[in-house]
Amino acid sequence: MAADGDVISPIRPNPSTPYQRQTFQISSAITPPYEFATPKKERFCNLDNLKSSSEFINSKLSDEGLPSPLQFWNGTHEDAVRIVNCIAKLLEQNQNDANARTDIEEKFQLLVNDYDTAQSNVARLKLKTDALERENHTLSVRLRVAEKESKQANSQLKLVKEELARLKANSQHAKTQFLHEQRRQEANLQKHREKLQRLLGDAYRGQKIIAELRNLPSAPELRGGSAAELDEEIKNQANQREALFRKENLALRGMLHELAQALVSKVLLYETNDDGQPFNVDHLHVDQPGQMFPDLQVLQSTIKQLVAQIDYESNERRQSGFQLATQMQEDHLNAVEQEVNDNYDVVEEQRKMIDDLKAAVEKLSGDLAEKSKLVEHFLENDLQVGNHSTDQISEAPASHPSADDAPPTPVTRELATPRVSKLPRPAHPVPSTPAWVSSQDANKHLATPSAPSKLVQHPDQDAFASTPGLSEIGTPSVANPQKRARVL
């Protein structure tokens, strides 16, 4: 059901019944097509178009399947019933359409609310998706870094395992060698012990007493003497043993005194004990041999202190020497590392200079190749011009004026190739110079590229000085190809 003010275009279905075909023909003949009431047209039907309007309405009712046709004038009761039923049907349909429209509007409003909610959810999910994508990217980067670190750790672990296996094998080998060397030394020591035992056995084999029985009293020589003589003999032997003991004791004390004097001479450089007090070594000095030696306990304690001090000083010297050597080695390594760092910067600068020189050399090589091509092209063109001007040279007069009197004006010609004198001058002298140009002239030509350079004087220079074979750069054109070949 169209709303008020809407334009309803006529629907033209395919007619199936005779009445529908007739009404379709009538509605098709109506020109222009009728429209319902609009704001511009207040009424659809009036007295002027009543017939055509009724026919249009009947065609529409027939198309919509409503009761038709309706007789709007001179109708019977049946026509009135039909009109009432049609209007009731239209009202019912309008009510249904209104109810359906209300339901549709409610559904549409719900759908709009759902759509807004979905839009907000989509925006929120999009933000969440972006955040998750960023987090995924961050985690991917971390994963790659972790994989890289894992690979490095695995490689380092592999290297450490290999180093551990190598150290284990080396330690096992060293242990085996040590055990072998220990067994060998023990065998050698056992051999030396046996040899020493044999030597001692051979040395003591001819003696009648052993060392432990050396100081026992000998048996009395008197046989059957009196008791007084026997006592006298025993007394004399006791006196002899006492004198021998004194002699040995004196010898031992003298030896101990010499040892103490030697130790005192060593310790005088370090005249402090463990407590930081100077040693009292005056009681250890003996000026005369007959002077009484110091007490043995005092001498023994002093010697122990001196020996302990010597051991302490030797250990301190060894430790200080090791620390000094380590410090010197570290200083040397630091100096070498600093020198390497300094030289590294110099090497980098020199390497950069070498790269620049290589680039310049490559550029100059390209320029030289282009120049060589230009010179070869010029020589080919010059040789062709020289062959063309052979007749002119042969007809020249014999007595040509010399260059000193009146130098001829050379006839220049334009070559197809560019001028060599206008080429860019290289940074260093060109190594490859044509054979017919001297080194001095070549350098002069490079020094002054704009002026024509003088070449080597040819025997036939005066003959073809005025010929058109002389180019703008001063290169002579040899008329005779054999002479040119000889010059080249």
CB 449 within 8 A of CB 421: yes
Confidence check: pLDDT of 277 > 80: no
Most confident range (mean pLDDT) of 41-45, 105-109, 337-341 is: 105-109
Q: 58: exposed, middle or buried (C-beta count within 10 Å: 0-12, 13-18, 19+)?
A: buried
Mean pLDDT, range 410-433, rounded to an integer: 42
146-173 confidence digits (pLDDT tens): 999 999 999 999 999 999 989 888 888 8
Q: Pick the more confident residue, 50 or 101.
A: 101
What is the band of 355 on the pLDDT scale with cuts at 50, 70, 90?
Answer: confident
CA 253 to each of CA 24, 89, 240, 298, 302: distance values in angstroms, whole numbers, following the listed order: 162, 157, 20, 13, 15
**Does residue 108 register a pLDDT over 90?**
yes
Residues of the chain with pLDDT > 70, as a percent, come to: 51
CA gap 481, 414 in Å, rounded: 22
Which tokens is 245 given?
């003991």
CA distance 323 to 317: 10
CA R_g for the chain: 68
Residue 224: band (very low, low, confident or very high) from pLDDT cuts 50, 70, 90: low
Which residue, chain included where needed, has tokens 């020289």?
Answer: 386
What pLDDT is stored for residue 219 in this prediction? 52
Is a pLDDT exceeding 60 seen at residue 95? yes
| Per-residue model confidence (pLDDT) at position 448 | 43
Q: What is the pLDDT of residue 15?
A: 52
Q: Of 438, 441, 423, 424, which is closest to residue 378 (Cα–Cα)?
A: 423
What band does 115 get if pLDDT is binned at 50, 70 and 90? very high
Residues 6+ apart with CB under 8 A from 430: 368, 371, 442, 446
Span 221-232, mean pLDDT?
68
Residue 409 has pLDDT above 70, yes or no: no
pTM for this prediction: 0.23
Q: What single letter denotes the amino acid at residue 32?
A: P
Read off the pLDDT of residues 296-323 as tens digits, 9 standing for 90 and up: 566 667 767 777 777 777 777 777 766 7
Burial class (CB in 10 A: 0-12, 13-18, 19+), 154: exposed
Q: Which of 48, 71, 58 is nearest to 26 (CA)?
A: 58
Phi-psi category of 367—alpha, beta or left, where left has phi over 0 and alpha has psi -120 to 50?
alpha
144: confidence class by pLDDT, cuts 50, 70, 90: very high
Q: Does residue 232 have a pLDDT over 80?
A: yes
Does the pLDDT value for residue 145 go beyond 90? yes
Residue 47 contacts residue 78 (beta carbons within 8 Å): no
The more confidently predicted of residues 382 and 217 is 382
Average pLDDT taken over every residue of the chain: 66
* Per-residue pLDDT, 315: 74
With a pLDDT cut of 90, the percent of the chain lying above it is: 11
Report the amino acid identity of residue 98: A
pLDDT in tens, 163-211: 998 988 888 888 888 889 888 888 888 888 788 778 777 766 665 444 4
Category of 474 on φ-ψ map: left (φ > 0), alpha (ψ -120 to 50) or beta: left
- pLDDT at position 114: 94
For 392-413, what is the mean pLDDT? 45
| Confidence check: pLDDT of 379 > 50 | yes
Q: Mapping DSSP to helix (H, G, I), strand (E, B) and coil, where does residue 479 land?
A: coil
pLDDT bracket for residue 386 (50, 70, 90): low
- CA dist list (Å): 179 to 188, 222, 328, 417: 14, 65, 36, 91
Higher pLDDT, 322 or 236: 236
Residue found by looking up tokens 């109506």 in the block: 30
